Amino acid sequence: MRCHIVPPHMLERIATDAGDPALRARARRTLALTSAHSSERRTLAPTAPEPNEDFVPNRTIHDAEHRERLPGRTVRAEGAPATGDKVVDQSYDWLGVTFDFFEAAYRRNSIDGAGLPLVSTVHYGDDYDNAFWNGEQMVYGDGDGVLFTEFTGPLDVTGHELTHGITQYTAGLEYYSQPGALNESVSDVFGSLIKQWHLDQTADQADWLIGAGLLAEGVRGIALRSLKAPGTAYDDPRLGKDPQPGHMDHYVDTYRDNGGVHINSGIPNHAFYLAATSIGGHAWEKAGRVWYDTLTGGRLESDSDFKRFAAATIATATDLYGADGTETRAIREAWNGVGVSP
């Protein structure tokens, strides 16, 4: 039996220490392919922008015309008028909102902090039930219409994918096991915060859902994930039940899904929810600021587990609000609340 889903540190050991030369070569090849996607990572911070500089997005939307080839035909460039294709125009608008959020909330100029063009491909594949970030661009399917609707629909899906880009250019959290679940979680956190910012909601008004509106009519569920109540987003005969835990007591050990990155993300997701609702007000201003600074501040290592991430958020909060600040205490209690003791 062979399995490719091996943590990077194990691959590195196999690549150098394995007795079988074929095994060593294979591990090296996997590492090369994996690191190809983090090679775009910026090691030096981009030049600081002028304080009053207005950042402008540079968006391009492509149409895959239901094939699986990237990027596809260019259908809308920055500043061009609406095309009349609902999916194309929705993607263009949501990229704009996401770009504006990171500028307004954290003075960030695009994914890389240096004005990286935003590229989306829509109408990808046939009945394709997915959206992903491939290291360079966003890709969206139209859904099969039976279980899922268009993945361009919910704003938080675009926010989630674009945040994968930001993580790639900053902390570079490895997409495996706990660092992978953190990578997923920060995408969910900022996906939700972008929606809250767009709707001008406070923490107690927000739905804290990811993928609300994505499930087709007749599917039993309200969304794909809930930061407020992990494990309760759906329970459907065809999709099964939302498997997310909200506490370390229910952490799921699996090698599938890169070590359960979409499952165990429920734990840090819920920690953020607890912190943000305890602090109150606009969640992107304080709890969101702490998570953003932690992700982008250079303090977080790419192989951080939940404990190290939690400790880094508390250190960031201490810098911003003091060790005894109510915000810092709320964040400390939030991690305790999900069973992570930094």
Partner 1 sequence: MKVTVVRSGGFAGIEQRAESDSARDPVLARLVDRVDLERVPPPGRIPDQFLYEIDIDGDRTTVGEAQLHGPLRELVHHVLGHAR
Enumerate the active-site residues. 161, 262
- 262 binds partner 1 per the rule CB under 8 A: yes
What would the x/- binding string for partner 1 be over residues 29 to 68, using CB under 8 A?
A: xx--xx-xx-------------------------------
Which of 259, 107, 109, 108 has the alpha carbon at shortest distance from 182?
A: 259
Distance from C-alpha of 321 to C-alpha of 289, rounded to nearest angstrom: 11
Which amino acid does the sequence have at 181?
A
> Quick one: 65 or 126, whose CB is closer to partner 1?
126
Minimum CB separation from partner 1 for residue 19, in Å?
19
Whether residue 75 contacts residue 90, with contact meaning beta carbons closer than 8 Å, is answered with no
Give start and end residues of each alpha helix (H) in 42-118. Answer: 86-106
Smallest distance from partner 1 to CB 247, Å: 18
Structure tokens at 224: 């794909």
Closest CA to 195 of 322, 262, 97: 97
Q: How far is the CB of 200 from partner 1 (least distance, A)?
A: 26
Tokens describing residue 59: 């968006």
- The letter for the amino acid at 8 is P
Q: If you search the block for the tokens 């922008």, which residue do you land on?
A: 49
* Region from 113-121, 157-165, 309-317, 323-331 binding partner 1, contact rule CB under 8 A: 157-165
For partner 1, the binding residue among 49, 117, 135, 337 (CB under 8 A) is: 135
Q: What is the DSSP string of 26-79?
A: HHHHHHHHHHHTTTT--SSPPPPPPTTPPP---EEEEE-TTSS-SS-EEEEETT
Stretch that binds partner 1, among 59-67, 107-115, 254-262, 279-287 (CB under 8 A): 254-262
Contact call for residue 107 and partner 1 (CB under 8 A): no
3-state secondary structure of 162: helix
Q: Please answer whether residues 189 and 291 qualify as being in contact, where contact means their C-beta atoms are separated by less than 8 angstroms.
A: yes
Residues 158-217 that bind partner 1 (CB under 8 A): 160-161, 164, 174-176, 180, 183-184, 187, 211, 214
Q: Residue from 151, 284, 291, 309 that binds partner 1 (CB under 8 A)?
A: 151
Binding footprint of partner 1 on the chain (CB under 8 A):
1-5, 26, 29-30, 33-34, 36-37, 129-135, 148, 151, 157, 160-161, 164, 174-176, 180, 183-184, 187, 211, 214, 224-225, 239-240, 243, 256-258, 261-263
